[in-house]
Structure 1
Amino acid sequence: MSIYHDPIRHLEYLRQSLSQDSKPIGFFISAGCPLSVQMPEGKWPLIPDVKNLTLWINNEMSANEKYVALLLEVDKAKKDRNNIEDILSFIRGLKQVSVGGKVRGFSEKDLESLESEVCKQIVRKINVELPNNQTPYHKLSKWISSIDREIPIDIFTTNYDLLLEDSLESLEIPYFDGFVGSKKSFFDLRAVENNLIPIHWTRLWKIHGSINWYQEEIQEQKKIYRSSEIKEDASHLIYPSHLKYEQSRKMPYLALIDQLNRFIRQKSSLLVLSGYSFNDEHLNDTIINALKANPSAMVLALMHDSYFIKDGIERYPKANKLALDRHNLNVWAFDKAIIGTNYGEWKKQKETEDKDLLRFITMEEEILQIRLGDFATFTDFLKMLIGNISETNKDSKDD
Structure 2
Amino acid sequence: MTDEVVPFNDELMGQQAYLPPGAAEWLPLTDAAFRILKAAGEADDVQMRANKAALSDMFASALQIPNLGFFAGSGTSLGAVGGPSMWELWQRAMCPEEQNRLSERAANVAETVRYIERENPNIEHFLSQCDAYLAFNSDEGVIAFVNEVKALILHACSEFINSNTSDISAYRNLLQKLARRRVRDPRLKVFTTNYDMCFETAASDLGMVTIDGFSYTRKRRFDGKHFTYDIVRREADSHEFTEGVYHLLKLHGSVSWSREGTEIYEHVAPSPENACLIYPAKGKYQQAFLQPHLELLSRFLEFLRQPNSCLIIAGFGFNDDHLSEPIYSAIQSNPSLKLILCDFNGVSHLRNRGQHGSSAYWGKFHDLAMEGFDIHFVSGSFSDMVSYIPHLRTASPAEQLANAVKRIRAGA
TM-score (norm 2): 0.70
Equivalent of residue 376 in structure 1, options 375, 383, 399: 383
The answer as to whether partners of 1:158 and 1:209 remain within 8 angstroms in 2 is yes
The answer as to whether partners of 2:110 and 2:116 remain within 8 angstroms in 1 is no
Q: Deviations over 1:237-283 (max 9, x none)?
A: 1112255565756x111211111111122212110100001111110
Distance 1:115 1:322 in 2: 35
Partner of 1:254: 294
- The correspondence of residues 1-399 of structure 1 with structure 2, limited to 5 A, is 3-4=24-25, 7=51, 10-20=54-64, 23-37=66-80, 46-60=82-96, 66-73=105-112, 77-78=116-117, 82-98=121-137, 107-128=138-159, 129=161, 131=164, 135-149=169-183, 150-192=185-227, 195-198=228-231, 200=242, 201-217=245-261, 222-227=262-267, 229-232=268-271, 234-242=273-281, 243-244=284-285, 248=289, 251-305=291-345, 307-308=347-348, 316-327=358-369, 328=373, 330=375, 332=377, 334=379, 373-382=380-389, 385-386=390-391, 389-391=393-395
Deviation at 1:375, TM superposition (A): 0.3
Q: Counterpart of 1:32 in 2: which secondary structure?
A: helix
Q: Counterpart of 1:307 in 2: which secondary structure?
A: helix
Among the aligned pairs, what percent are the same residue? 21
Distance 1:160 1:60 in 2: 22
Distance 1:115 1:306 in 2: 34
Deviation at 1:167, TM superposition (A): 0.4
The answer as to whether partners of 1:133 and 1:167 remain within 8 angstroms in 2 is no
For 1:55, the aligned partner's letter is Q
Distance 1:230 1:212 in 2: 6
Distance 1:66 1:393 in 2: 68
The answer as to whether partners of 2:128 and 2:280 remain within 8 angstroms in 1 is yes
Q: Deviations over 1:66-123 (max 9, x none)?
A: 534113456763366742112111111111222xxxxxxxx34433333222111101
Q: Deviations over 1:7-34 (max 9, x none)?
A: 46751542332442x6211110111111
Distance 1:214 1:307 in 2: 39
The answer as to whether partners of 1:155 and 1:204 remain within 8 angstroms in 2 is yes
Distance 1:166 1:259, change over 3 A: same
Farther off after superposition, 140-149 or 159-168:
140-149
The answer as to whether partners of 2:210 and 2:247 remain within 8 angstroms in 1 is yes
The answer as to whether partners of 2:69 and 2:312 remain within 8 angstroms in 1 is yes
The answer as to whether partners of 2:213 and 2:223 remain within 8 angstroms in 1 is yes
Distance 2:313 2:359 in 1: 16
Distance 1:84 1:94, change over 3 A: same
Distance 1:145 1:323, change over 3 A: closer
Distance 1:144 1:77, change over 3 A: same
The answer as to whether partners of 2:94 and 2:103 remain within 8 angstroms in 1 is no
Distance 1:202 1:318, change over 3 A: same
The answer as to whether partners of 2:280 and 2:287 remain within 8 angstroms in 1 is no
Q: Deviations over 1:152-183 (max 9, x none)?
A: 11100000001111101111100111111444
Q: Which of the two has greater helix per residue?
A: 2
Q: Unpaired runs of 5+ in structure 2?
A: 3-23, 28-50, 232-240, 401-412
Deviation at 1:5, TM superposition (A): 5.8
Matched positions, count: 331
Deviation at 1:315, TM superposition (A): 5.9
Distance 1:306 1:323, change over 3 A: closer
Deviation at 1:226, TM superposition (A): 1.7
Farther off after superposition, 238-247 or 273-282:
238-247
